[in-house]
Amino acid sequence: MNIDDLIKESEMELKDKFKEIDDLAFRTSEKVLNAFRNNNVSQAHFNSTTGYGYDDLGRDTIEKMYAEIFGCEDALVRSQFISGSHALTVALFAFLRPGDLMLSITGIPYDTLHEVIGIIPNNSSLASFGIKYDQIDLVNNEFDEAKIIEYLQNHDVKLIEIQRSKGYSSRKSITIDKLEKIINSIRKVDKKVIIMVDNCYCEFVADKEPVAVGADVMIGSLIKNLGGGIAPNGAYIAGRKDLIELAAERLTVPGEGREVGPTLGINKQIAQGLFFAPSAVASSLKTAVLTSMLLEKLSYNVEPRWNEPRADIVQNIIFGNPNNLIRYCQGIQMGSPIDAFAVPQPWDMPGYEDKVIMASGSFTQGSSIELSCDGPIREPYIAYQQGGLTYEYGKLGVKRAIEELMKKDN
């Protein structure tokens, strides 16, 4: 069967799944629209500040909208966060003090946090400040609840980190239902521990978000889901008011906190990105589901399968060999609007231990709500594909990548 027919056939089979995704996007869009209306957003909010950035009405209003949409007391949404990793770093340094113990209950955290925590030595790590770290691995993709509870009963843990999206691992991502269940169990034995959720790639994939199910704070990047492909950079931290204040004082200056931080003209893009985010996430989900079905029909191993519950917008294809991974990523690049002529190669990306290949023909550098595909060059050679600002462009990119893959197999 040729690729166009295979796509047509798959789209027929995915009708109900796509309807589910559209219905979800309708509900999240309604939340977003209500936040705009409830906060009386107007042209005045698109004005800009420079210098110290005092009294930035747009910035402060965007933060109120984030808090409302995610059911949080407060939120910090700033372009001074240079990435999701930076926001996670600021949060960890803001909440933890020398002698404190941090516990990850989703195994080893995302690659870029290894030097932050001190898992890989770094003179500026949390460990270098005397902050201790421990982790409990998932077992068969589930929280090791008994071990977590026992650990909490025998140690004074200051902060629990939960990473929902799989990062560059081969585990499954954590759905909101699983998150809610483990938080309820933790709260039965420890009311005080700060529960911090790395929510990268998970926003608007379900009706509920981590703080609404009991987490204290959630963190993510604006060049992923919530920027809707429009925000030029930045990240957010949302949750308990006291924690947001600590994070603001760490990000800027103790005593100045959230009162400073110029927006340099990007308020409109951040607001408009939020407005588009529910649809961009829906397009990404449809692209992911289609990819999963197509590649499975072509006898590749995929995770998640098309009909499995999804916690994030990431689609894995487990290639099992470096050549197919590289070819597929190169095909995604060829099917992208920007730098379609470039041929991505594995390289030593800062913050990552293995060589990484990264296809990202995006308007915003490194944006992964735009169709993108990457993966470390290590066993079992998994492609991590995500994004698709519109389903049509997502489909075109994936089609191009499959054509590259087939060319090689012939």
Ligand X SMILES: *Cc1c(COP(=O)(O)O)cnc(C)c1O
- The residue ranges that bind ligand X (CB under 6 A) are 83-85, 110, 112, 163, 165, 167, 198, 200-201, 221
Query: What CA–CA distance (Å, rounded) separates 209 from 52?
Result: 32
d(CA 90, CA 111): 16
For the record, the structure tokens of 119 come out as: 């898992």
Cβ at position 224, least distance to ligand X in Å: 6
- Supply 29's token pair: 């869009």
Task: Indicate the residue among 46 and 143 with the shorter CB distance to ligand X.
Answer: 143
Closest-CA residue to 117 (of 93, 143, 87)? 93
Instruction: Tell me how far, at minimum, the Cβ of 85 lies from ligand X, in Å.
Output: 3
Name which of 84 and 273 has its Cβ closer to ligand X: 84
CB of 366 to ligand X, least distance (A): 7
**174 or 334, CB closer to ligand X?**
174
What is the nearest approach in angstroms of ligand X to the Cβ of residue 172?
A: 13
Could you tell me how far CA 40 lies from the centroid of its own chain? 28
Residue pointed to by tokens 């409109």: 268
Nearest approach in angstroms of CB 198 to ligand X is 5
At closest approach, how far in Å is the CB of 387 from ligand X? 11
Give the C-alpha separation, 104 to 127, whole Å: 15
Minimum distance of ligand X from residue 200's CB (angstroms): 3
Q: Which residues pair with 76 in a beta bridge?
A: 237
Closer residue to ligand X (CB): 67 or 218: 218
Of the candidates 206, 230, 269, the one whose C-alpha atom is nearest the C-alpha of residue 58 is: 269
Are the CB atoms for 39 and 68 separated by under 8 Å? Answer: yes
Instruction: Pick between residue 125 and residue 163 the one whose CB is nearest to ligand X.
Output: 163
Question: What is 265-301 written as a DSSP string?
Answer: T-HHHHHHHHHHHHHHHHHHHHHHHHHHHHHHHTT-E
Nearest Cα to 279, choosing from 378, 390, 176, 182? 390
Residue 49 or 221: the one with the smaller Cβ distance to ligand X is: 221
> How many Cβ atoms from other residues are within 10 Å of residue 50's Cβ?
10
List residues bridging with 234 in a β-sheet.
none
- Closer to ligand X by CB, 45 or 310: give it: 310
Q: Closest-CB residue for ligand X?
A: 84
